[in-house]
Structure 1
């Protein structure tokens, strides 16, 4: 049959999967009708596809607040989430396999609800969920659009959603109970109890705090790569590694990219491998044997302590602090510097970053100053996130730097010759200092925690920094 406006029906197929519990045991077998979204045409049967998903930085910041404030932490799951999304476009689909008969010859299905596999499914689902949450009286956070907050005098309820996984916390028990009832009336909700497993991250809570790790993920990765029996390494990357492009025998690109991609996801709970993963991810376009050896070195390090993760403890405050550092001209290929920072909320590590700078810095002070700008941006973002929840921090946010030249430039507006290449950063940082939004005390190099995100440290320096970052291994024998 002919369809209007040149539309073509989307293909479909049945997909059979097995869903596992957090311990790896089989929970149930699933069969799902999935549309072949790759046959859709932009502008005809779909328009925009973007929909926000929760940021891991937001999730860790909330976990730190929960640990410091003693709030409960509960998890919900929306069953068949994409089926709740309302389609705005006209989308036609072939008759599903198994339903073909004489009466269906030459006919197609018109979809009114979203279906798994359609390009706009996630956007349609989030639009429906957003409409429901606003109807419940919640406000959408402007910093992270997947975060919803409802405040009532001194009580607050917080919900964060990642596709169909929902985490609810707050100090208003009545509102949490009421929210569950409202969600159950609107969608098909499954209560999973206290948060234990979220996006492949294992969560354990005790009187010492909240611990997150990816132990099962690491063990599965080691088994997949055949490295369960390998000799462990004491650090994720060799000191003075001198990795660069184009040297060594080429290796299979797809396999290398798949391994590095899995390590990137693993760095959500393992900041101690962030620098090493950042180095090996620079050679995705042309991996060589030396680069693959560096990836295996990371895996060997993970073998030494697969259960290590981050502990969010109760420190009795919600201060915002950050450490920034830069490795000047550290890249052999283009002599660009590596910026790094790590930020703490309530004494717990919640965000970190290590990345090559976009341009070549002409001095160590310039490289450090660019890192200071990134750290300042992150502190302001965290302040906005907590402020929208109702957890304001009145004092200045502390940004620690071990470069006296960078600190001097930040406080002295006269040094034009030294700052003409970073003029916008200088004015931005100076403005925050003048308004007492931030302060920049000097920290000794041996106490600089951001070193682990910018340099290949020896194990003697590396392990104490990891301990100060709040990394623990609760699976290690006492």
Structure 2
């Protein structure tokens, strides 16, 4: 999907013609005229609920964010060592929760705004609790609140690739691992994004940020190779005296070394090492009131 989004965003900016092929399928495109009822999902509680009752959705409560900002979801193993102040039983039927999260995972291909919430809820697929189902239903209400929201492959903007990355240090209360998040844009169009828990525990916020940056840079490197295959990036040969990267790969002569340093934009802010020159500069630049 990342490749497809990248190609579409490039085509939008370049003004290329795109042709779409639709596959008509009765399961996906069929019209539904009947009223549909569903069994009450686990996690939905109502006083004096009778056995065998079903529910019909008339409207949903307005939800403006995918997840509660202060909500911390825990695993059943975590609850064994750190008991919760309120009861949070596990679901007897895991299938409904797993199917719901699977559908939401598919939806993240066009809804980057729910990526963090979905990756958080997907960690509890094998042992979901009531709180997990309630958080998932809140996410569904958020999606239903704006069903037409999605990414726009804009023809405006520049031909620049931009990437934003961040990390939330120790955000996972179950493992104290940090969360990596990044989004890569071409022009004004987002083409790649990710929200993922880091593989190891970071001992500082700086370490977590660098891990997130490494993931973002890896995605940029891959995207650069894709753009090169599409002919959007042309590799030019430089003579050795103009190759600034030689500073980082080999020892150089004085003249070439000084020239490449100037290309980097480095400036010497200290006084010349010559004793006589230093005294003259000192008299010029330093005045005692």
- With normalisation by structure 1, the TM-score equals 0.40
**Which residues of 2 match residues 17-416 of structure 1 at below 5 A?**
56-76=1-21, 227=57, 229-246=59-76, 247=79, 248-251=88-91, 252-392=93-233
| Structure number with higher relative contact order (C-alpha < 8 Å, ≥ 6 residues apart) | 2
**2:283 matched to which residue of 1?**
none
State the 1:76 CA deviation: 3.7
The residue number in structure 2 matching 1:82 is none
Match of 1:150 in 2: none
SS in structure 2 opposite 1:381? helix
3-state DSSP class of the match of 1:74? coil
Name the SS of the counterpart of 1:309 in structure 2: coil
Name the CA shift for 1:229/1:368 in 2 (closer, same or farther; >3 Å): same
1:318–1:329 distance in 2 versus 1, CA, 3 Å = same
Q: Counterparts of 1:316 and 1:367 in 2: how far apart (Å)?
A: 32
Alpha-carbon distance between aligned partners in 2 of 1:262 and 1:340, rounded to the nearest angstrom:
21
CA distance in 2, matches of 1:309, 1:227: 24
Cα deviations by residue, 1:405-444 (Å, 9 ceiling, x for unpaired) = xxxxxxxx9xxxxxxxxxxxxxxxxxxxxxx9xxxxxxxx
Note closer, same or farther for the CA distance 1:288–1:70 as it changes in structure 2 (3 Å cut): same
Q: Secondary structure at the match of 1:301?
A: helix
CA drift at 1:320 = 1.1
**Change beyond 3 A, Cα 1:365–1:314:** same
CA distance in structure 1 between the aligned counterparts of 2:110 and 2:12, rounded to whole angstroms: 16
Structure 1 residues 230 and 349: alpha-carbon distance in aligned structure 2, compared to 1, 3 A threshold: same
CA RMSD of aligned residues (A): 2.9
Give the count of matched residue pairs. 204
- Report deviation, 1:394: 7.5
Summarize deviations over 1:367-389 as a string: whole Å, max 9, x none.
00000000001111111111101
Offset of residue 321 of structure 1: 1.0
> Distance in 2 between the 1:238 and 1:376 partners?
30
SS of residue paired to 2:216: helix
- The alpha carbon displacement at 1:315 in A equals 2.6
Tell me how far apart the structure 2 counterparts of residues 293 and 315 of structure 1 sit (CA, whole Å): 40
* Contact 1:329/1:337, CA 8 A, preserved across alignment: yes
Cα deviation for residue 311 of structure 1 reads 1.0
Are 1:227 and 1:300, in contact at CA under 8 Å, matched by a contact in 2? no
- Deviation >4 Å, runs of 4+: 222-228
Taking structure 2 as the reference length, the TM-score comes to 0.65
Q: Which has the higher strand share?
A: 1
> What are the Cα deviations for residues 235-273 of structure 1, in whole angstroms up to 9, with x where unaligned?
110011011111521112111000000000001111111
